[in-house]
Amino acid sequence: MDITLSLNAVLDRIDYSTFEGELGVRSITGVASLGDAQRGDATFVASAKYLEELAKTEASLVVLSKDLEATPKSGQLFLRVENPSIEIAKLCELISQKMWEKPQPGIHRLANIDPSAEIDASACIDAFVTVAAGARIGPGCVIASGCFIGPACELGADCQLSANVTLERDTVVGKRVRIHAGTVLGSDGFGYEFQDGRHRKVPQVGSVLVGDDVEIGANTTVDRGRFGPTRIGEGSKIDNLVQIGHNVVVGKHNILCAQVGIAGSTKLGDYVVMGGRAGASGHIEIGPGAQLAGQCVAYSDLEGGAKYGGAPAIPLVAYQRITVITRRLPELFKRLTQLEKQLLRD
């Protein structure tokens, strides 16, 4: 990490209530965990269980909770804040802006742009990007090398597409959307009908609609709808290696962790959270605010505002109790065998 942030820049970004100690370096040169931090680094502490590590850290700047009892070492500055995780994220945003500075607007000479495509003059189109007929790219967009923007696709303002992203035809993306490397939006939905001993393909003639402020991780796939669109709601955050089937509706501000799989025509309400490798079968509804633990699978409708675990999904508390009992089965089976033998002797 090769960055330099002045103390004033840091203090302007972080919402601190008080500070203690004195910064022993001229500038902040990185962000690191407590254990890895060196002189010049910033770090954070949100819980008392890390106080022992805090006492050993070499970090020059520590962002920590107001109520933690700790004293800075010589050359160490403490910033007391309400939420250390949020405040260190603000600092990371500042670092990110320096590490990945926005490139100058323009279209690289090695890009392949159809004459009918509309590209705002403030957008940046890198080498080996293809923009097909009728596509529209809004102001401030950054399209990295190797991306394919299909016919009649649209990108709103300030979108970022990392290398080798594919938008198949008719995909519409809102404003401030970030899509990471290798992701495909608008690939065919998995639709077949069995006829005369063969799987007959059902053409997928729908589209994909992505709302504002969505982020989609690397190598994720969102299938186009069979007829209408597959929808990703405003503010939703989708991890790497997620599969979203045709005509799925993902509500606003969902969190879908790595390897989540959602089968076709499933509807997720707003603020749904699905842990890693969780899944949902097709044509069901998951209510607003529902939370599915890792590897939980919904095979039928789930009410909103509740936590679930297991496959099939059941209330999380019940699943945890079943898990505890399951671990004791060998012991219980052994005891049952002993009781049977005792009864036979008697």
Active site residues: 246
Contact (CB, 8 A) for 272 and 260 = no
Alpha helices in the chain (DSSP H): 7-13, 51-56, 84-99, 316-327, 329-345
3-state secondary structure of 337: helix
Gap between the Cα atoms of 64 and 257, Å rounded: 28
Q: What is the maximum alpha-carbon separation in the chain?
A: 93
Residue 308 pairs with which residues in a beta bridge? 292, 315
The values of phi and psi at residue 40, to 5°, are 100, -15
Gap between the Cα atoms of 17 and 299, Å rounded: 48
Q: How far is CA 227 from CA 102, 173, 191, 202, 205, in A?
A: 38, 18, 11, 10, 5
Strands 16-21 and 77-81: antiparallel
